[in-house]
Chains A and B, each alone.
Chain A
Amino acid sequence: MLELVMKISLICLTLSMLGLVYRLIKGPTVPDRVVALDAIGINLVAIIAIISMLLNTNAFLDVILLMGILAFIGTVAFAKFLEKGEIIENDRNQ
C-alpha cells in the first residue's frame, strides 16, 4: 500500500509541476516566472524525498537540503536584481 501511495503522490507532484511550467512559460511578468521557478524548486525537494523512499536509500537526503538552499539563494538573487538592477553592489562611495 505504501508503494502505491508513493507512486500516486509522485503523479500528483508531476501534474503540479506541469502547471508550474505552464505559468513559467506563459507568465506575463518576470516576477511570475521567478515565483513559478521557486515553486518548481520546492516541488523538486518533495520529489527527491519520495524517490529516496521508493529506492529505500538514505543517500539522497543531502540533496534535499541542497535543493532548498539553492532555491532560496536563486530567488533572493533574482529579487535583488529586479529591485536594484544589480546583485552585488560594488559602490564604495556610499
Chain B
Amino acid sequence: MTVISEWLIVIFLLFGSFLSLVAAFGLIRLPDVYTRNHAASKSATLGVMSILLAAFLYFYFIEGHFSSRILLGIAFIFITAPVAGHLISRAAYNSGVKLWEKSVRDDLQYKKKEREH
C-alpha cells in the first residue's frame, strides 16, 4: 500500500512540476497578453492542483494525517484562478492592449462599437 501511494505521489509531483514549467515556457514564448494569460491561468492552475494533491496524499498515507486545509486550498485555487485570469484579461482589453498583429478576428470590437453608438 505504501509503495503504491509513493508512486502516486511521485507521479503527481512530476506532472505538476512539468505543467508549471510549461506555463513558464508559454509565458516567455507566446506573442501577446491574451495568449500568455491563457497559458498561465490554465497550466499553472492544473500543475499547482496536482502538486497540492500530492501533498494531500503524502500527509494522508505516510503521516496518517487527514488535512482538510489542502483540500480547501485545491478547491479554492480551482475556483479562483480562472476568475482572476478572466478579470485581468478583460481589464487588458478594456484598457486598450492590442492583440497580436497576426490574429484573425476580434469579435469584441464590434460589440464595443455598438455599445458606444
Query: Which label, helix, strand, loop or mixed, suits the secondary structure of the A interface?
Result: helix
Collect the chain A residues with CB atoms within 8 Å of residue B48's CB: 42-43, 45-46
Encoded as 1 (CB less than 8 Å from any B CB) or 0, chain A from 17 to 55 comes to 111101100000111101110110011011001101100
Collect the chain A residues with CB atoms within 8 Å of residue B41's CB: 35, 38
Collect the chain B residues with CB atoms within 8 Å of residue A16's CB: 17, 20-21, 23-25
Contact across chains for A71 and B84 when beta carbons are under 8 A apart: yes
Contact across chains for A12 and B27 when beta carbons are under 8 A apart: no
Contact across chains for B65 and A58 when beta carbons are under 8 A apart: yes
Collect the chain B residues with CB atoms within 8 Å of residue A69's CB: 76
The complex places the Cα of A29 from the Cα of B28 at a distance, in Å, of 14
The complex places the Cα of A68 from the Cα of B55 at a distance, in Å, of 16
The complex places the Cα of A73 from the Cα of B19 at a distance, in Å, of 24
Contact of A9 among B13, B27, B70 (CB under 8 A): B13
Tally of contacts, chain A with chain B, CB under 8 A = 166
Collect the chain B residues with CB atoms within 8 Å of residue A34's CB: 88
Contact across chains for A64 and B84 when beta carbons are under 8 A apart: no
Collect the chain A residues with CB atoms within 8 Å of residue B54's CB: 49, 53
Min C-beta distance of A60 to chain B, whole Å: 10
The complex places the Cα of A35 from the Cα of B59 at a distance, in Å, of 31
Contact across chains for B55 and A53 when beta carbons are under 8 A apart: yes
Contact across chains for B40 and A22 when beta carbons are under 8 A apart: no
* 7 A-B contacts (beta carbon < 8 Å): A2-B6, A13-B20, A29-B97, A31-B89, A80-B87, A82-B92, A82-B95
Binding site for B on A (CB under 8 A): 1-2, 5-6, 8-9, 12-13, 15-20, 22-23, 29-32, 34-36, 38-39, 42-43, 45-46, 49-50, 52-53, 56, 58, 61-62, 64-65, 68-69, 71-72, 75-76, 78-80, 82-83
